[in-house]
């Protein structure tokens, strides 16, 4: 309104007014930028807000210091005057003069050193012992460094590698089936995905092209291409894809009397039966070098079903039909013998009943490493196995352990209970909060140009994870030896 009224004046006056408003706008932007810079600087200074006058005052009532003064030790404790008139007890036995730190300030001193660059245990202990002194300083610093949540999330020491587990072998054909999805693949005849199914006992496989991976499409294809041919099986193993965890797919499994099982996330080893099939299928299809994989797939499946397996010295067709498949390249035919259908059925049934699962030997040795603290820790960190963003931590957590098994843990993640493979876990070290070890979260008042935000807009130092924060006010001892309050 003010600007519209002033525009009715002389053009030269309007020009001056516009220039004045432009200058006001620049001043406002400059003040906002300075305020933002103040917030950034204050956040960094929050790590070093310690008033040595308060430290000296606490030293007077510190029982550990009194005991050290009574008993001759390797420490040479002397009083050093402060500009305020107080005196600070320090150790002068070492090369550097080291102040004695009372209990309530020890964790704050540790934060100032460690949270700058988050060095390791030995580096942090060395820095702390060179600057400060108190009884059990090595144990305290080692414990606090080991329990640093930021370090535990970001640093990778040694991955867990548990011993290879064993499946409970299926006792009959088509009793346990693995199912999975491959894709997206290059479009071929309108199909971009592949639904794969494999029987754990006989390794008989089916691979069906599908146009999408909706739960309805997957359920219909599974019923029409597998259950309609081989019947309803006892168990169905899948990963944690949304299609297999959907209500539609679960209802479909319940209707057929199938027990649906899900593997742990980001752990394809537990789904290795079908994952190995994917590798074989892709290799064979690529070897054909055909632009349409849908035309090559039936030929590849025929070859895989007719191939002789080394572990059982038979083909998949032998396991399912009792005889090999006749391939297009066969020259001689097996001599036909007249057998009574009833006798043939009885003989085939008895032969198949005698089949026993053969355990596949592991050709390569696997180095095993399982941290001993995984058996007793209350919390764990979970390795991020997805494609990470730049500067994203390597681990997530800590998460509470609800149940332990040999190959997986059940964790409390938000409001859900999630099973995670032990190979993705590492023990979490969490310190119980005590009155002496609670971190002090510093606060800052408004900058000199107040009026562009409240005190809540100015960030304070983040609390150290694993502890509850506590609001305090403290000062900073500057180079001119004056205690400055912000």
Question: What is the DSSP annotation of 65-109?
Answer: HHHHHHS--S--EEEEE-TTS-EEEEE-SSSS-EEBPPHHHHHHH
Sequence-distant contacts of 400-406: CB under 8 A, at least 24 apart: 401/377, 404/375, 406/162, 406/165
Residue 453 Rama label (left phi>0; alpha psi -120 to 50; beta): left
CA distance readout (Å), 417 to 42, 251, 399, 413: 40, 22, 10, 6
The pLDDT value recorded for residue 374 is: 92
Most confident listed range (124-133, 333-342, 468-477): 124-133
The pLDDT value recorded for residue 361 is: 62
CA–CA separation, 398 and 430 (whole Å): 9
Beta-carbon count within 10 A of 112 CB: 16
| Residue 333 reports pLDDT greater than 70 | no
pLDDT (tens digit per residue) in 410-454: 999 998 999 999 999 999 998 876 644 444 443 333 333 333 333
Q: How high does pLDDT run on average in the chain?
A: 77
Q: What is the mean pLDDT of residues 192-217?
A: 92
Q: What is the mean pLDDT of residues 215-231?
A: 91
Instruction: Return the H-helix or E-strand segment holding 345.
Output: helix 341-353
Q: What percent of the chain has pLDDT over 70?
A: 71
In contact, 386 and 266? CB cutoff 8 Å: yes
Burial level of 321, CB count in 10 A (0-12/13-18/19+)? middle
85 - beta bridge partners? Answer: none
The pLDDT value recorded for residue 95 is: 82
Secondary structure letter of residue 61 according to DSSP: T
The pLDDT value recorded for residue 178 is: 93
Collapsing DSSP to helix, strand or coil, 410 comes out as strand
| Residue 215 reports pLDDT greater than 80 | yes
The pLDDT value recorded for residue 240 is: 87
The pLDDT value recorded for residue 83 is: 87
The pLDDT value recorded for residue 449 is: 32
CA distance readout (Å), 263 to 20, 41, 382, 421: 68, 48, 16, 9
pLDDT (tens digit per residue) in 141-160: 999 999 999 999 999 888 88
CA–CA separation, 69 and 132 (whole Å): 17
The pLDDT value recorded for residue 68 is: 87
| CA nearest to 169, candidates 293, 77, 268, 273 | 273
Phi, psi at residue 134, to the nearest 5°?
Answer: -170, 160
In contact, 250 and 260? CB cutoff 8 Å: yes
Beta-carbon count within 10 A of 461 CB: 22
Q: How would residue 212 be classed by pLDDT, with cut points 50, 70 and 90? A: very high
The pLDDT value recorded for residue 340 is: 63
In contact, 52 and 69? CB cutoff 8 Å: no
Collapsing DSSP to helix, strand or coil, 63 comes out as helix
CA–CA separation, 192 and 171 (whole Å): 35
Q: Of 74 and 215, which is predicted with more confidence? A: 215
Phi, psi at residue 370, to the nearest 5°?
Answer: -130, 120
Phi, psi at residue 136, to the nearest 5°?
Answer: 60, 35
CA–CA separation, 173 and 307 (whole Å): 19
pLDDT (tens digit per residue) in 234-264: 889 998 888 898 999 989 888 888 888 888 8
CA–CA separation, 185 and 285 (whole Å): 12
pLDDT (tens digit per residue) in 92-107: 887 889 999 999 899 9
The pLDDT value recorded for residue 92 is: 86
CA–CA separation, 377 and 410 (whole Å): 13
Q: How would residue 464 be classed by pLDDT, with cut points 50, 70 and 90? A: very low
Q: What is the mean pLDDT of residues 163-176?
A: 77
| Residue 47 reports pLDDT greater than 70 | no
């Amino acid at each position: 309104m003010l600007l519209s009224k002033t525009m009715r004046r002389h053009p030269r006056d309007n020009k001056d007014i516009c220039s004045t408003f432009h200058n006001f706008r620049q001043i406002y932007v400059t003040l906002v930028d300075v305020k933002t810079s103040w917030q950034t600087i204050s956040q960094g200074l929050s790590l070093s807000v310690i008033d040595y006058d308060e430290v000296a005052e606490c030293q007077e009532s510190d029982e550990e210091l009194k005991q050290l003064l009574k008993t001759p030790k390797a420490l040479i404790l002397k009083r050093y005057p402060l500009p305020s008139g107080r005196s600070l007890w320090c150790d002068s036995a070492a090369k550097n003069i080291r102040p004695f730190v009372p209990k309530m300030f020890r964790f704050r001193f540790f934060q100032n050193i460690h949270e700058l660059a988050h060095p390791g245990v030995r580096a942090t202990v060395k820095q702390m012992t060179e600057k400060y002194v108190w009884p059990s300083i090595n144990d305290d610093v080692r414990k606090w460094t080991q329990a640093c949540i930021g370090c535990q999330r970001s640093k990778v020491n040694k991955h867990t590698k548990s011993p290879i587990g064993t499946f409970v072998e299926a006792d009959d054909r088509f009793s346990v089936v693995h199912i999975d999805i491959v894709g997206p693949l290059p479009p071929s005849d309108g199909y971009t995905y592949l639904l794969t199914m494999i029987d754990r006992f006989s390794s008989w496989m089916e691979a069906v092209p599908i146009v999408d991976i909706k739960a309805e499409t997957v359920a219909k294809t599974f019923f029409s291409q597998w259950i309609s041919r081989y019947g309803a099986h006892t168990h169905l193993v899948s990963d944690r894809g949304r299609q297999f965890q959907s209500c539609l797919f679960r209802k479909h499994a319940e209707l057929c009397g199938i027990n649906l099982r899900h593997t742990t996330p980001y752990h394809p080893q537990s789904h290795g039966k079908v994952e190995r099939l994917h590798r074989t299928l892709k290799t064979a299809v690529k070897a054909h070098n055909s632009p349409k994989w849908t035309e090559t797939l039936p030929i590849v499946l025929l070859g895989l079903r007719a191939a002789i397996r080394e572990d059982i010295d038979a083909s998949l067709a032998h396991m399912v039909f009792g005889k090999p498949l006749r391939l297009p390249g066969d020259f001689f035919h097996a001599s036909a013998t007249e057998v009574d259908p009833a006798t043939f059925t009885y003989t085939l049934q008895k032969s198949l009943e005698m089949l026993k699962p053969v355990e596949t030997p592991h050709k390569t040795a696997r180095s095993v490493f399982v941290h001993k603290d995984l058996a007793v820790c209350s919390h764990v960190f979970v390795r991020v196995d997805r494609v990470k963003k730049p500067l994203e931590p390597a681990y997530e957590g800590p998460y509470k352990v609800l149940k332990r098994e040999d190959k997986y843990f059940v964790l409390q993640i938000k409001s859900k209970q999630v099973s995670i493979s032990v190979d993705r876990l590492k023990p979490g070290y969490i310190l119980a909060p005590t009155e002496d070890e609670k971190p002090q979260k510093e606060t800052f008042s408004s900058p000199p140009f107040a009026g562009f935000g409240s005190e809540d807009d100015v960030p304070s130092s983040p609390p150290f994870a694993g502890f509850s924060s506590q609001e305090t006010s403290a000062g900073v001892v500057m180079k001119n030896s004056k205690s400055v309050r912000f």
